[in-house]
Structure 1
Amino acid sequence: MTDDVTVVPAVVADAGEILTVQRAAYLVEAQRYRDVFLPPLTETLDEVRAALSGPVVVLVARHGARLVGSVRARVDGDTAHVGRLSVAPDQQGRGIGGRLLAAVEQACADRVARFALFTGARSAENLGLYARRGYLVVAHRSDENGNRLAVLEKVTPARSDA
C-alpha cells in the first residue's frame, strides 16, 4: 500500500539521501551479477548533485520525512530515458517503484512519444514491473562490464489534442 507515500520533485538537498537509497537498492543487483561496479553503485555525490541541477527530471518518494525511492528521466528528442529507479530495500514490494515510474512518465508525457530504459536481463522483478507498466523488451546488449541488459521501450498513446 502506497497511500502514505508521496512522490515529489527532488531538490539538491536530497542528493545524499538519493545516493544512500540508490546504493542500498542496487546492492541486490550487484550480488545477482557479481559486479560491485554497476554505475549506480559507483556514482558520486557530486554526480547526483549535478543530475539534480541539470535538465534531468528527478523525483523522490517519501514516507513521512524519509526518502524511500527515486527515479530520473532525461529527455532527448522524442524519447525520455528513464534510469536509476531505486526503492529502499525494506520498502520494496509496496508499489513504490510503480508509483515512481508512473510519476516520471507523467512528468515527461507532454514532451515525448516514447520512454526507454534498461535493466539486467536476469532481473525478473524489474522486468515484471516494467512489463506491467507497458514496457516491451526491444533489444539486449552488454554493459561496459559485460553484464547482459534488457533494453525496454514504451510508446506513449497519441495525445487527443494532437
Structure 2
Amino acid sequence: MSDATADIVRAGPPDAGEILTVQRAAYLTEAQLYGDPFIPPLVESLDQVRAALRDAGGFALKAVLDGRLAGAVRVRFNDRTCLIGRLVVAPDLQGRGIGGRLLRAVEDAAAGRADACALFTGHLSDGNLRLYRRAGYRETRRERVAAHLTHVHMRKPLGAATAEPSEASEAAGTAGTAEPAGA
C-alpha cells in the first residue's frame, strides 16, 4: 500500500464502525504510554461516534487507502477557531504521511471559516508532537488533567482564504455556526 493512493473524503455516520475500530487501535498505544485504559477515545461508544459524525457544527474526514479506512479526523468550530480532534491513523499505516495529509486537508477545508486551527495531545506523545510541530503548530499552554497526563495545547494560524475551494473543502462541505467542541 502506498500513501499516494489515499483519498481524503468526507466521513459520515455510516463510517462510524470503521472509524471507531481505527480509533481504538490507534489510541491503544496512547493508553499504554499513559498507563490509562480509560482514555476518552477508547471508551467512546459507537453511538457517540455516530452522533459526532452527524454533528452539523463541524465535519469529519477520512483517508481511504486501497479501499480501506486508513485514518480519520474530526473538526468542530468555536467562533473563528477550527478545533481538531481524534486524528487517527491505523497503527500499521503510521509513518506514511496519512496523518499529515489529513491535517492539511482540515486546514484547507477550514480556510476562510477559521483564522486558526487548535488541537491538543498528551505530553508524552512524542510522535504526535513532532507531527504537529512539523506542520507549523506551536505550543500555547499545558494543562495538567490527571496525575499521569498533561495536555499540550497547540495552535496554527491559517492564511487568507483562497477564491477557489480546494478538494478538501469540497469534501468537508459547509456547516452553520458551531458551538464550542467538548472533550
- Pair in the same fold by TM > 0.5: yes
Question: Which amino acid in the other structure matches residue 121 of structure 1?
Answer: H
Q: Percent of counterpart pairs with the same letter?
A: 50
Q: Where do residues 20-59 of structure 1 align in structure 2 (5 Å cutoff)?
A: 20-55=21-56, 56-59=58-61
Q: Is the 8 A contact 1:120 1:149 kept in 2?
A: yes
Question: Which amino acid in the other structure matches residue 49 of structure 1?
Answer: R
Q: 1:17-72: per-residue Cα shift (whole Å, max 9, x none)?
A: 00000000000100000011111111110011001111221000011221010001
Counterparts of 1:18 and 1:157, CA distance in 2: 30
Q: Give, in angstroms, the shift of residue 155 of structure 1.
A: 0.9
Greater alpha carbon shift after TM alignment, 92-101 vs 49-58: 49-58
Counterpart secondary structure, 1:51: helix
Q: Partner residue of 2:178?
A: none
Question: Out of 99, 102, 105, which is 1:103 matched to?
Answer: 105
Q: Is the 8 A contact 1:138 1:151 kept in 2?
A: yes
Counterpart secondary structure, 1:119: strand
What is the aligned-residue RMSD (CA, Å)? 1.5
Change (3 A) 1:111 1:127: same
Q: Where do residues 7-156 of structure 1 align in structure 2 (5 Å cutoff)?
A: 7-55=8-56, 56-143=58-145, 147-156=149-158
Counterpart secondary structure, 1:3: helix
- Where do 5+ consecutive residues of structure 1 fail to align? none
Greater alpha carbon shift after TM alignment, 134-143 vs 88-97: 134-143
Counterparts of 1:61 and 1:160, CA distance in 2: 23
Counterparts of 1:148 and 1:87, CA distance in 2: 22
* 1:4 paired to 2:5: yes
Q: Give, in angstroms, the shift of residue 104 of structure 1.
A: 1.0
- Where do 5+ consecutive residues of structure 2 fail to align? 164-183
Question: Which amino acid in the other structure matches residue 95 of structure 1?
Answer: G
Question: Which amino acid in the other structure matches residue 58 of structure 1?
Answer: A
Question: Which amino acid in the other structure matches residue 124 of structure 1?
Answer: D
Q: Is the 8 A contact 1:57 1:104 kept in 2?
A: no
Moved over 4 A (4+): none
Change (3 A) 1:91 1:160: closer
Counterparts of 1:74 and 1:121, CA distance in 2: 23
Q: Give, in angstroms, the shift of residue 144 of structure 1.
A: 5.6
Q: Give, in angstroms, the shift of residue 160 of structure 1.
A: 7.3
Q: Give, in angstroms, the shift of residue 143 of structure 1.
A: 2.7
- Larger RCO: 1 or 2 (CA < 8 Å, sep 6+): 2
